[in-house]
Amino acid sequence: MRSQRHLLSLPVLGAVVALAAAPAQAGDIASIRPIGFSPDGAVFAFEEYGIQDGSGFPYASIYTVDLNKDTYLPGTPFRARLEEDGASLAQARWKVQSAAETLLDAHEIDNQPAEFLAFNPITESDVDALKIRYRHVSALPPIEEPSTLVLEEIPEPPDPACEGVIEQKVSFRLRFTERDGKAANDVVYDDERIPNSRGCVSGYRLAGIVAGQTTGGGTVEVALVMVLSAGFEGPDGRWIAVPIKTAAPPTR
């Protein structure tokens, strides 16, 4: 059983909004906490949370992704937004974690933690928001050559619902241009359509890579992509998880 003490001790990953020094008009950028994988590497769960721009309401969501089908598990994601006066971010997170607990336990998500292989927060300067070069194994000295994953934004036809809100609606694809130190041209994800949940999306960031180990010794990797969509006071940042390396199916 997760405790409130455990919740409040969790590290904050990503950009934190609503600081005193923040501009008066700005969208909100959700923070992210990877939770983990199922033992077979087929399910990945993560939490995003923050303070909604405009309303000031605290919110939290937990997503559980079927990596083989690249879809959410039935009945998910879990979401909480607290509109009561004085409601806190900790309360929103506690509420959504309580709602997701049974499903997370059923898939043993907490037993297979997610490891950051690379992280590119929006607060970091002098980085390429559309490219990450990383190694697949945490080791010193390095035991392998790096791979390079790039995100390519694709202009989409005008959307009447977004006219006057953003200049251009875009989709994206993910491509490896380097694999283990060798040149490559390997598309691992390409938007077939833009889901309505992205709203008037004007851009993306390739914000991180996480990996997990299966009980059978395999590895799985997920790209964390930030979706930048029109918000009440500026661009809002929300997270999606895209499988870029799925675990091999078990042998019979």
Task: Let me know: does 67 contact 220? Beta carbons within 8 Å.
Answer: yes
Q: Where are the domains of the chain?
A: 4-245
What is the C-alpha to C-alpha distance for residues 43 and 246, in angstroms, rounded to an integer? 10
Task: Let me know: does 50 contact 32? Beta carbons within 8 Å.
Answer: no
93, 124, 113, 112: which is closest to 206 by C-alpha?
Answer: 124
Task: Let me know: does 250 contact 40? Beta carbons within 8 Å.
Answer: yes
Per the listing, tokens 């992205």 go with 198
Task: Let me know: does 120 contact 208? Beta carbons within 8 Å.
Answer: yes
Q: Which residues contact 156 (CB under 8 A, 6 or more apart)?
A: 168, 169, 170, 171, 194
In terms of phi and psi (left: phi > 0; alpha: psi -120 to 50; beta: otherwise), the region of 130 is alpha
Per the listing, tokens 């994988």 go with 37
Q: Which helix (H) or strand (E) holds 8?
A: helix 4-8
By three-state DSSP, how is residue 74 classified?
Answer: coil
Q: Starting from the edge strand earliest in sequence, which strands make up the sheet with 147-155, in order? A: 131-134, 147-155, 170-179, 182-190
Q: So what's the pLDDT on residue 113?
A: 92
Per-residue pLDDT of the chain (252 residues; tens, 9 = 90+): 343 333 433 344 444 333 333 444 567 999 999 999 999 999 999 999 999 987 889 999 999 999 999 999 999 999 999 998 899 999 999 999 999 999 999 999 988 999 999 999 999 988 899 999 999 998 899 999 999 999 999 999 999 999 999 999 999 999 999 999 999 999 999 999 999 899 999 999 999 999 999 988 889 999 999 999 988 777 899 999 999 998 765 443
What is the C-alpha to C-alpha distance for residues 80 and 87, in angstroms, rounded to an integer? 12
What is the C-alpha to C-alpha distance for residues 32 and 17, in angstroms, rounded to an integer? 12
